A and B are shown apart, each in its own frame.
Chain A
Amino acid sequence: MNVQEKALQEFNSTGYPTVKNESWRFTDLSRLNNHSFDGIWKNSDISFEPFDEIYIVFENGKLSLDKSNLDTLPIGLTLKSIKDYKELSLNSLQSEVNGIINLNIANFNDGYYLKVEDNITINTPIHIIYLTDSLNFSNCLRNYVEVGNNSKITIVEEYIGDDNSIYLTNSITEVFGGNNCDIGHYKYQCESNQSFHFQTIEVTIGSNSFFNNHSISIGCELGRNDIRGILKGENSEIVCNGLYLLKDNQLFDTHLFMDHAVPNCKSHELYKGILADKSKGIFCGRILVQPDAQQTDAIQSNANLLLSRTAKVNTMPQLEIYADDVRCTHGATIGEIDEKALFYMKSRGLDDFSANALLTFAFANEVVDGISFKPMRKKIEQSIEVWLKKVL
């Protein structure tokens, strides 16, 4: 039995994770069982706008060379389908294997392999675009990123869906950074509002390195990000920021896990959630400081703004600290629009919608403002504006 057959067998016996599993206790996946996800592949009708010259497009989970632009790859950069490196896509992960991961291994369609050689700075952002509109489709992707020593790159993963489609995106992205590298990783999830979305991101970086992640989640009916950062070399830093905008009956779950294995590293997490209607947000931030990881500087913050009385948030910081000379802070808040601020704005001539929109935008802005890749920031600002018009 090969790895894929074994994964399928395991999935068939366990199914999706259930609420009995501690890590999934607020995220009930039982509605996934109503779908078979055996839809047939088709070309995608979704349009997209690349940020720059280099982009790779997955059309319903399959790399489309026609839609991608990989003609002008700079020296020192490899970007192609992971199918050429199939053994990598069947690698075991650091994360605990669960039904979602087994399903990914068993059914994976495609993904990208990206490698930056040592001493290379790639100035053009690498735009990864996933277009999904095949009905009942199972979109399993496996991505592998390797960034060499003294190298720099920015990667944007954008998930775009069609609101009429029900499908499942199940994506795994592994990132390995060497020493003295600088990796920007943006995720913009704007899937169909009837879809299901799961992504596991596992990042390992060496010494003197920086991994900067921003995850913006607007789409899907039910979804989860699992992000694990492993600091393997000293003087490195992981920034992991995010924003989730939820409405209707959406549920979005963010699980972060920062693993400090060595001394003198930083991990900074800032997550903000804005929840309308009957939506539900889950945030779990685990920080593990291993016995050797002295001088760790870990900051975690999760703030939520509820726009309705029926929206709900479960937020859980989990700090496990086995070293004694560290700075670890965490904070979680759940609040509403401040009535005093609202009156202040109205008393200056802003109507109800404008005042609410401005205050809500102000809440999100701390995350948005931290996005150093400007075209991305602009895109997020625009989508927040559109989103606010729908919910306020």
Chain B
Amino acid sequence: MSLLNIKNLHASVEENEILKGIDLIIKPGEVHAIMGPNGSGKSTLSNVLAGNESYQISDGEIIYDNKDLSELDAHERAREGMFLAFQYPVEITGISNMYFLKAAVNAVRVHKGQNELDAMEFIDLIDQKKQLVKIKDDLLERAVNSGFSGGEKKRNEIFQMAMLEPKMAILDETDSGLDIDALKIVADGVNALRSPERGFLVITHYQRLLDYIVPDFVHVLVDGKIVKSGGKELALELEENGYVAFEEMK
């Protein structure tokens, strides 16, 4: 049974069609990587999946966990276990990371019919999860992403993922802007969260990330279409030959 089933997905931004017919099936426990050149539609795909209303689906459908995704708002998707680690996490001054996370965790818990965590229980959960991405306490007290370095922002995304325990996680260019040490920490965090129930969609420009987060499947996205799919060795091929050969295929 599939966790995410994307069928002939066409999507556009401001009348420009970016995705031109994508088919993709992700089963629980699988890690899929989507690689593609700039402008191929990688970020559009992640935004469409997370429910960003600036993007319109013009054709096709997305079935997630037996639900038609188009009928769910962004917050409902999140509560149903969809998680997007942003390429550019947004800075929000005036609200601490902790406060924001507590609101998010409790919104998801209430939706699942669980009790809201009180302050003590929440701190216990934080203590459990913060080791995963070696997040420092002062980062938790500070305003959401505000003044964080590029690496801190990406770590914070993975930390949020660990806290929210999604069923389907989408990592949108999580490797961009990371040095090698930060990349390892982030990848270790992701690997620790791999489980037989959880699906991952790792979107990246470079093969480098896939040395650390080893995918089960690799798909090449060019001009809004998946032009080739294969195993992890496809990423190596891409690294060697670039996207040029695929761009001619479209």
Contact = CB atoms under 8 A, between A and B. Distances in A.
A365 B94 contact: yes
A355 B104 CA distance: 10
A1 B108 CA distance: 72
Interface string B42-65: 000000001111100000000000
B90 interface: yes
Given A348-B100, A348-B104, A366 B74 contact: no
A349 B89 contact: no
A363, A364, A369: which has the most chain B beta carbons within 10 Å?
A363
A90 interface: no
A336 interface: no
Nearest to B105: A349
Contacts of B92: 341, 344-345, 359, 362
Contacts of B154: none
A364 B94 contact: yes
B134 interface: no
Interface string A164-189: 00000000000000000000000000
A347 B73 CA distance: 9
Contacts of B100: 345, 348, 358
B90 A340 contact: yes
B79 interface: yes
A77 B86 CA distance: 58
B4 interface: no
Interface in B66-80: 73-75, 77-79
Nearest to A369: B94
A349 B111 contact: yes
A349 B166 CA distance: 11
Nearest to B50: A347
B77 to A, nearest CB: 8
Classify chain A's interface size: 20 to 34
B93 A362 contact: yes
B90 A344 contact: yes
A320 interface: no
Interface string A338-358: 111101111111111011001
A301 B170 CA distance: 40
Contacts, number: 77
B40 interface: no
Contacts of A345: 92, 100, 104
A361 interface: yes
A349 B94 contact: no
Contact of A347 (B54, B84, B103, B143): B84
A183 to B, nearest CB: 27
B100 to A, nearest CB: 7
Contacts of B84: 347
A156 B164 CA distance: 43
A157 to B, nearest CB: 26
Interface string A352-389: 10110011011111100100000000000000000000
Contact of A351 (B83, B86, B107): B107
Nearest to B107: A349
A355 B93 contact: no
Contacts of A361: 94-95
B95 A349 contact: no
A358 B103 contact: yes
A320 B230 CA distance: 70
B160 interface: yes
The 4 A-B residue pairs with the shortest CB-CB distance, nearest first, are A362-B94, A349-B78, A365-B94, A348-B104
Interface of A: 338-341, 343-352, 354-355, 358-359, 361-366, 369
Interface of B: 50-54, 73-75, 77-79, 83-84, 86, 89-90, 92-95, 100-101, 103-104, 107-108, 111, 143, 160, 164
Given A346-B75, A349-B104, A351-B75, 10 more contacts: A344-B86, A344-B90, A345-B92, A346-B74, A348-B100, A348-B107, A354-B103, A365-B95, A366-B94, A369-B94
